Amino acid sequence: MKIFGSTTSPYVRRLRILLAQTPHDFVNLEIFQEEDRAKLAEQNPTLKIPCLEDEGGVIFDSRVIYRYIADKFQYTPLNWEQENQLTLIDSANDSLVQLLLLKRSELDIGEDRLYYRLQKERVQTILLELDNQVRLNGFEGWDYPAICLFTLIDWIEFREMHNLQAFDNLKAFRERHIDRIEVTATDPRH
């Protein structure tokens, strides 16, 4: 089993944390460099990370990769509430990644533009909901949705993409898990 991705991607990190106790190879790609972009294209025509190679096949998306891993290792299936949690987390992640790419393209995401406003509104609304779910004990264990929430919040802090000052429950959730060995081993700051 081999994961292709980057150490800074929250989508890749969630899978690396999930597989911390499972033998696998990690291929770290600098996805904005031509050589690594070509390697990625060989594996994944979407040119997105992560992708997983296993038993002669390649799977292209983190959500689908999770389903494959869960099936392969007979994890308890996610319930609809957990699926909805993943949709919230992935939606916030997607909006923030888009904003980061725009920023790296030297566009001023602080400008009052419809696209920027919509992405920021989506992130704010989702973070409010996730903060409330944490307050109501919606992420008590260390299951896949909790791992995904952690990687989202930690990535926001790492990339400084949103002010989390008003989200005490999300910050406390992050602090509860920050010292886990699989979290420290995959920290993109190192």
113-159 pLDDT tens trace? 999 999 999 999 999 999 999 999 999 999 999 999 999 999 999 99
User: 100 and 160 share a domain?
Assistant: yes
Last residue of a domain, one of 72, 98, 115: 72
User: 89 and 178 share a domain?
Assistant: yes
> Is 190 inside a domain boundary?
no
Query: Which domain, by its residues, includes 47?
Result: 2-72
Q: What whole-number distance in Å separates Cα of residue 149 and Cα of residue 128?
A: 13
User: 93 and 37 share a domain?
Assistant: no
14 CB contacts (<8 Å, ≥6 apart)? 62, 66, 144, 147, 148, 151
User: 67 and 84 share a domain?
Assistant: no
pLDDT of 186 strictly over 90: yes
Last residue of a domain, one of 56, 72, 88: 72
Q: Which of 5-19, 34-48, 133-147 has the lowest mean pLDDT?
A: 34-48
> Is 189 inside a domain boundary?
no
The whole-number average pLDDT for the span 49-63 is 96
CB 145 within 8 A of CB 89: yes
Instruction: Find how far residue 133's CA is from the centre of its chain.
Output: 18
The whole-number average pLDDT for the span 156-178 is 97
User: 168 and 106 share a domain?
Assistant: yes
69 CB contacts (<8 Å, ≥6 apart)? 15, 18, 19, 52, 75
- Per the structure, the count of domains in the chain is 2
pLDDT of 31 strictly over 90: no
Predicted structure pTM score: 0.96
Last residue of a domain, one of 52, 72, 92: 72
Nearest C-alpha neighbor of 1 from the set 43, 54, 49, 51: 54
> Is 41 inside a domain boundary?
yes
- Phi/psi-derived region of residue 61, left when phi > 0, alpha when psi is between -120 and 50, beta in every other case: beta
Which residue has tokens 């989702």?
A: 126
User: 84 and 177 share a domain?
Assistant: yes
User: 55 and 129 share a domain?
Assistant: no
